[in-house]
Amino acid sequence: MMSEATGIVKILLFMVSCVFTSNYIFSQFLGICPFLGVSNKVETAVGMGLAVTFVMGLASLFTWVIYRFVLLTLGLEYLRTISFILVIAALVQFVEMFLKKSSPSLYKALGIYLPLITTNCAVLAVTLMNIDGAYNLLYSVLNGVFSAIGFLVAIVLMAGVRERLETANILKPLRGFSINLVIAGLMSIAFMGFSGLVK
Amino acid sequence: MNWIAILLALGVMALLGLVFGIVLSFAAKKFQVDVDERVANVRAALPGANCGACGYVGCDAFAEAVVAGKTPPNGCRAGGAGAAAAIGEALGIEVTPAAPMVACVICQGTAGVAKDRYKYDGYRSCRVAASLSGGPKECRFACIGLGDCAYNCKFGAITMRDGIAYIDKNICAGCGTCAGICPRRVIELKPLNAQVLVRCRNSDVAREARSVCTRACIGCGRCVKECAYDAIHVEDGFARIDSAKCARCGKCVTVCPCKCITLAGAAQDLLESARNNAAV
């Protein structure tokens, strides 16, 4: 029975809803830029997804702490957007340095899309939704990490489809981004099937 | 006006920025990647277009290869002599610029010269036509003339004239895209100063070659005998000129019975006259 659901079950349901039901790409249409830009190869798509997961998870943690203990105590709630952007930019910069050192090939493959995680609206959205949803610290971080895993699932699925498209015989006017957008739309419709999975 | 609130907001943002700045500067030290200074210098001397004409994935990869000694420093085609000089300066060595290359059409099979096998009226693409019963021209080495090269030329250097491709040497950048796209491999990159060219590569025996085109090289070897510089050799049934040995004397052009050796400039005149004749 749902009413007797324990804390663990609640958390599991929350994770599933982050990944599938309210998938950032397919049901909220956030973060489309990297989704279309880096989804031409599964390998780089996984790298991008992991980088976004890292940034979103840490951003959720830091922004929650900053909002709760700095902005809220000082009555500066209206500064949340600008200070969250600062946190995200610093985190992305950190990830960039880390990748350049640890994995130069992934760093090259991600290229311009790595610093563009800063302007990935999904990252800012998740931090703002943590505040709007009045989540506690645990739920904020879970929301960040599992929403990003939803992003990872979406971008890897898309990359798998696009790798096959390389050899497909597509009508000339539909080649390139047109067919990608059509596919993204179809996948989004498929993800509508998850709605109602979690009440 | 609530000055305290404004100052508080300013202070909080400045403090946050300061904290992140300090953390990042420590991280930058910790994760510093040592870049070979020479690689950076060579990279700065390159055009940065990442065109790939050098055979490497981009300018960064080319710069690394040059410093590692894996590739000659004059390998950047897009940069040309300017980039070669700048790389030489960056590395402190003498770099001789590579001879500029241009694409040349190794065929003179214009309409009326090369015999048609059938009248092609399908999709305007050489690659499609080439797959249809050996192509619309009898000669299986001839330029098909439907303009795949002209369509793919990024510089607009190729026009189709009278059934074969014509490349403007003044516009051609020597990128080699057309040579790669041609299904008949009829376009070759040659040094810009290679003014004498055998413009046929039909390797069939003389009788067959002559029966499909009046400008076909029959491999008779008269040019080989005439050449005083040992620059011409007949291999696989057609003559080839070694542009490094060729002295551009033009004797081979005069003795060729099939008029398939041309001097630079003459090819263009020939085409013009052929076109005028066709128009009359």
Taking the mean position of all CA atoms in its chain, how far away is CA B91?
27
Cα-only R_g, chain A = 18
Domain end marker among B177, B192, B207: B192
Q: Is B22 at the interface with chain A, CB within 8 A?
A: no
| Model confidence band, residue A4 (pLDDT cutoffs 50, 70, 90) | low
pLDDT for res A8: 86
Asked if residue B207 and residue B173 are part of one domain, the reply reads no
Residues A74, B32: C-beta atoms closer than 8 Å: no
Residues B31, A104: C-beta atoms closer than 8 Å: no
pLDDT for res A63: 93
Structure pTM?
0.55
Domain assignment of residue B163, yes or no: yes
Who among B8, B17, B32 is closest to A86 (CB)? B17
Mean pLDDT, rounded, for B176-202: 86
| Model confidence band, residue A172 (pLDDT cutoffs 50, 70, 90) | confident
pLDDT for res B274: 52
Nearest-CA distance B153 → chain A (Å): 19
Using a CB-CB distance cutoff of 8 angstroms, which residues of chain A are in contact with residue B35? none
The answer for residues whose C-beta is within 8 angstroms of residue B78's C-beta and 6 or more apart is B47, B49, B51, B53, B173, B175
Mean pLDDT, rounded, for B163-188: 86
Tens of pLDDT, residue by residue over B64-97, are 888 888 888 888 776 777 788 888 888 888 777 7
The CATH number covering residue B238 comes to: 3.30.70.20
User: Higher-confidence residue: B95 or A33?
Assistant: A33
Nearest-CA distance B10 → chain A (Å): 10
User: Higher-confidence residue: B39 or A126?
Assistant: A126
Domain assignment of residue B12, yes or no: no
Domain assignment of residue B22, yes or no: no
Report the candidate in A81, A28, A51 with the shortest Cα–Cα distance to residue A148: A51
> Which residue in chain B has the smallest CA separation from A99?
B31
Question: CA B154, CA B159: separation in Å to the nearest integer?
Answer: 12
Asked if residue B83 and residue B53 are part of one domain, the reply reads yes
Paired sense of beta strands B158-161 and B164-167, if any = antiparallel
Asked if residue B172 and residue B104 are part of one domain, the reply reads yes
Is the pLDDT at B271 greater than 50? The verdict is no
Asked if residue B232 and residue B245 are part of one domain, the reply reads yes
Q: State the burial class of residue B77 (Cβ atoms within 10 Å of its Cβ: 0-12, 13-18, 19+).
A: buried
Asked if residue B134 and residue B77 are part of one domain, the reply reads no
The answer for residues whose C-beta is within 8 angstroms of residue B224's C-beta and 6 or more apart is B232, B233, B234, B239
Report the candidate in B92, B85, B43, B33 with the shortest Cα–Cα distance to residue B66: B43
**Tally of domains within chain B:** 3
Question: CA B201, CA B239: separation in Å to the nearest integer?
Answer: 8
Domain end marker among B192, B219, B243: B192
Tens of pLDDT, residue by residue over B105-137, are 999 988 888 888 888 888 889 989 988 888 889
Residues A98, B20: C-beta atoms closer than 8 Å: no
56-95 in chain A: CB under 8 A from chain B? 66, 70-71, 74-76, 79, 82-83, 86-87, 90, 93-94
First-to-last alpha carbon distance for chain A, in angstroms, is 13
Asked if residue B69 and residue B107 are part of one domain, the reply reads no
Mean pLDDT, rounded, for A9-20: 88
Cβ–Cβ contacts within 10 Å for residue B2, how many?
A: 7
> Which residue in chain B has the smallest CA separation from A92?
B24
Is the pLDDT at A157 greater than 60? The verdict is yes
Which amino acid makes up residue A74?
L
Asked if residue B110 and residue B174 are part of one domain, the reply reads yes
Who among A76, A100, A108 is closest to B33 (CB)? A100
Domain assignment of residue B2, yes or no: no
CB-CB contact of A130 with A145 (8 Å): no
94-123 in chain A: CB under 8 A from chain B? 94, 97-98, 100-101, 104, 108
Asked if residue B73 and residue B52 are part of one domain, the reply reads yes
Tens of pLDDT, residue by residue over B149-166, are 998 887 788 999 888 999
Tens of pLDDT, residue by residue over A95-145, are 888 888 888 887 877 777 778 888 888 999 999 999 998 899 999 999 999
Q: State the burial class of residue A120 (Cβ atoms within 10 Å of its Cβ: 0-12, 13-18, 19+).
A: buried
Q: Is A181 at the interface with chain B, CB within 8 A?
A: no
Residues B24, A93: C-beta atoms closer than 8 Å: yes
Residue that the structure tokens 């996984």 belong to: A46
Asked if residue B168 and residue B124 are part of one domain, the reply reads yes
Q: Is B14 at the interface with chain A, CB within 8 A?
A: no
Asked if residue B201 and residue B163 are part of one domain, the reply reads no
CB-CB contact of B201 with B238 (8 Å): yes
Least confident of A46-60, A79-93, B261-275: B261-275
The CATH number covering residue B50 comes to: 1.10.15.40
Asked if residue B180 and residue B163 are part of one domain, the reply reads yes
| Model confidence band, residue A190 (pLDDT cutoffs 50, 70, 90) | very high
User: Higher-confidence residue: A54 or A148?
Assistant: A148
**Could you give the 3-state DSSP secondary structure of residue B101?**
strand
Cβ–Cβ contacts within 10 Å for residue B244, how many?
A: 9
ipTM: 0.74
User: Higher-confidence residue: B48 or B45?
Assistant: B45
Q: State the burial class of residue B15 (Cβ atoms within 10 Å of its Cβ: 0-12, 13-18, 19+).
A: exposed
Mean pLDDT, rounded, for B233-247: 87
Across chain B, mean pLDDT equals 83
User: Higher-confidence residue: A23 or A103?
Assistant: A23
> Which residue in chain B has the smallest CA separation from A104?
B33
Question: CA B61, CA B55: separation in Å to the nearest integer?
Answer: 10
Domain, as residue range, for B114 = 100-192
Is the pLDDT at B99 greater than 80? The verdict is no
Domain assignment of residue B72, yes or no: yes
Domain assignment of residue B21, yes or no: no
Is the pLDDT at B207 greater than 80? The verdict is yes
Which amino acid makes up residue B252?
C
pLDDT for res A89: 92
| Model confidence band, residue A1 (pLDDT cutoffs 50, 70, 90) | very low
Domain end marker among B138, B171, B192: B192
Least confident of A89-93, A159-163, B46-50, B219-223: B46-50
Q: How far is CA A155 from CA A49, A148, B89, in A?
A: 7, 10, 45
Asked if residue B188 and residue B112 are part of one domain, the reply reads yes
Nearest-CA distance B190 → chain A (Å): 33
Domain assignment of residue B167, yes or no: yes
Tens of pLDDT, residue by residue over A46-56, are 888 988 998 89
Which amino acid makes up residue A135?
Y
Taking the mean position of all CA atoms in its chain, how far away is CA A19?
9
Nearest-CA distance B150 → chain A (Å): 19
pLDDT for res A153: 94
Domain assignment of residue B264, yes or no: yes
Using a CB-CB distance cutoff of 8 angstroms, which residues of chain A are in contact with residue B60? 108
